[in-house]
Structure 1
Amino acid sequence: MRVVTELSPPHQTLVQGEVSGLSTELVKDVLAAAGLAGKFELYPWARSFRIARSQPNVLIYNMARTTEREAQFHWIGTVAAYQLGFVALSHRDDIQINTVTDAIHYTVAVQRDDISADFLMKNGFKKGMQLVLAADITESWQLLFNGKVDLVIDDPVALTGMAMQLGVANQDVRFVYGITELEQHTWLAASLQTPPELIERLQQAHSQIAKTERYRRIMASDYR
Structure 2
Amino acid sequence: MKNSLLIIFLLLSFTARSNEEELKVVTEDWPPFILKGQEVSGIVTSNIREILAYTDIKYSIDVYPWARSFHLATTNPNILIYSIYRTKQRESKFHWFCPLYKSTPIHVYKLASNEINIDSLEALKTSVVGIMRGDNSHSYFLQQGFQEGVNLDISSNEETNLKKLIKGRIDVVIQSKESLNYRLGLLGAADLNLMSGLEISKGESAEHCMALSLGTKPETINKIKKGFEQWQKTQ
The TM-score with structure 2 as length reference comes to 0.82
Match of 2:104 in 1: 82
Match of 1:172 in 2: 192
Show structure 1 runs of 5+ residues with no match: 214-224
- Computing the radius of gyration from Cα coordinates, the structure with the larger value is 2
| Per-residue Cα deviation, 1:145-196 (whole angstroms, up to 9, x for no partner) | 232211110101112211133x222221524124155552131011112111
Number of corresponding residues: 210
RMSD value, Cα:
1.9
Match of 1:54 in 2: 75
Q: Take 2:136 and 2:143, find their aligned partners in 1: how far apart are those partners? A: 11
Match of 2:233 in 1: 211
Show structure 2 runs of 5+ residues with no match: 1-22
Percent identity reads 29
Residue type matched to 1:155 in 2? S
Query: What secondary structure is seen at the aligned counterpart in 2 of 1:153?
Result: strand
Whether 1:19 and 2:40 are equivalent positions in the alignment is: yes
Q: Take 1:193 and 1:139, find their aligned partners in 2: how far apart are those partners? A: 35
Match of 2:209 in 1: 187
After superposition, the Cα gap between the structure-2 partners of 1:55 and 1:155, relative to the gap in structure 1 and judged at 3 Å, is: same
Please point out which of 202, 219, 226 is paired with 1:197.
219
Q: Take 1:175 and 1:188, find their aligned partners in 2: how far apart are those partners? A: 31
Q: Take 1:96 and 1:108, find their aligned partners in 2: how far apart are those partners? A: 12
Compute the displacement of 1:52 (Å).
1.0
Q: Take 1:95 and 1:137, find their aligned partners in 2: how far apart are those partners? A: 21
Compute the displacement of 1:35 (Å).
2.5
Please point out which of 24, 39, 42 is paired with 2:63.
42
Query: What secondary structure is seen at the aligned counterpart in 1 of 2:134?
Result: coil
Q: Is the 8 A contact 1:62 1:186 kept in 2?
A: yes
Q: Is the 8 A contact 2:98 2:207 kept in 1?
A: no
The TM-score with structure 1 as length reference comes to 0.85
Whether 1:69 and 2:90 are equivalent positions in the alignment is: yes
Residue type matched to 1:174 in 2? L
Match of 1:139 in 2: 160
Q: Is the 8 A contact 1:77 1:206 kept in 2?
A: no
Query: What secondary structure is seen at the aligned counterpart in 1 of 2:100?
Result: strand
Match of 1:150 in 2: 171
Structure with higher strand content: 1
Compute the displacement of 1:68 (Å).
2.0
